[in-house]
Amino acid sequence: MPAVRSSGRKRARPKQAALSLGAATEKPDYARPFIKWAGGKTQLLPQLARFYPPKGSVERYIEPFLGSGAVFFHVKAMVEPRHVLLWDNNRELVDTFKAVQEDVDRVIKLLARYRARHSKEFFLGMREKRPKSRAGKAARLIYLNKTCFNGLYRVNSRGIFNVPFGRHENPKLFNETWLRQAARALAEARIEAEDFRLLESEARAGDFIYFDPPYHPLSKTSYFTAYTRDLFGQAEQEKLAALCRALDRKGCLLMLSNSDTPLVRRLYKDFEIREVSARRSINSKAERRGAIYELVVLNDRLLEASRGRI
């Protein structure tokens, strides 16, 4: 049995169940995400930071669903892990992070060029391009991400980016200072295009691991996991929960974010479950953007390490 305990909580939401959006935390000067990603955690960082282990206590931090990297950048500054392993199965995203890590000057030059040429026609042309260099791939993804409709990343069944033009008159394409900060934060990280299921053999006792998978849908009409051609359905959610149980037995410190659904609560019923309130801004219908509750799943080892913050 995994060394975890049931939260013993019912579906009804107690008044103190959710952490507030304004939870206080230390604010170091840390790198910010340079892309917008559905489900990005920037606005949740003050709440998630309450569960981080103490600064200097972690040998290795692992994040197998990288997305925008918001939690990584924050953990890097707040916890200062000595080693970092970042994974994602979206190879274009991985190439983008590696380009910022290895050749940020070239990425900045290309983005400056794209900013000067921005128009609907240029955007549509960039959707069709297939750059060969890593810096070219990165600049293309960042440009499309910042100028497409609602900042979505979506591909079709052939893996082709298909989000329409966003009609931004003066898009904030990039911030050079933030990109250079990101490059410094990423300097020593291992960034790889890998599947989360391989983590069972890679992880070791003492690793601090944060999972931010594609969320289980709140309803049949809210199913959106098309960040790559591979869907992340119930079977994948179940495999991820099984992986968490295996990593808990290994002695890892675990934190996972997901939507508040009966399936997620059932899969992680032997772990500690906390609620956090979030505002979601990526939705095709404006009336569906706003405050919702999400779940943060924790194991006992992380709770013990973070005691004093909670």
In this prediction, residue 184 has a pLDDT band, given cuts at 50, 70 and 90, of very high
Reduce the secondary structure of the chain to three states and give it as a string: CCCCCCCCCCCCCCCCCEECCCCCCCCCCCCCCCCCCCCCCHHHHHHHHHHCCCCCCCCEEEECCCCCCHHHHHHHHHCCCCEEEEECCCHHHHHHHHHHHHHHHHHHHHHHHHHHHCCHHHHHHHHHCCCCCHHHHHHHHHHHHHHEHHHCCCECCCCCECCCECCCCCCCCCCHHHHHHHHHHHCCCEEECCCHHHHHHHCCCCCEEEECCCCCCCCHHHCCCCCCCCCCCHHHHHHHHHHHHHHHHHCCEEEEEEECCHHHHHHCCCCEEEEEEEEECCCCCHHHCEEEEEEEEECHHHHHHCCCCC
* Tens-place pLDDT, residues 196-216: 999 999 999 999 999 999 999
Same fold, 18-89+194-222+232-305 and 93-168+176-180: no
- Side-chain half-sphere exposure of 164, counting CA atoms within 13 A: 2
Q: What average pLDDT score do residues 233-252 get?
A: 97
The more confident residue out of 40 and 304 is 304
CB 50 within 8 A of CB 19: yes
Give the pTM: 0.85
What does the pLDDT read at residue 310? 57
Q: Give whole-number Cα distances, 23 to 43, 47, 151, in Å.
A: 11, 6, 27
CB 297 within 8 A of CB 256: yes
CATH tag, 18-89+194-222+232-305 = 3.40.50.150
Superfamily of domain 93-168+176-180: Adenine-specific Methyltransferase, Domain 2 (1.10.1020.10)
| Domain range summary for the chain, segments of one domain joined by + | 18-89+194-222+232-305, 93-168+176-180
Cα 166 to the center of its chain, rounded Å? 23
Q: What average pLDDT score do residues 17-45 get?
A: 69
Q: Which of 60-69, 161-170, 185-194, 270-279 has the lowest mean pLDDT?
A: 161-170
* Tens-place pLDDT, residues 221-233: 554 444 444 578 9
What does the pLDDT read at residue 280? 63
Average pLDDT, the chain: 86
What does the pLDDT read at residue 162? 87
Facing residues of 292 across strands? 278
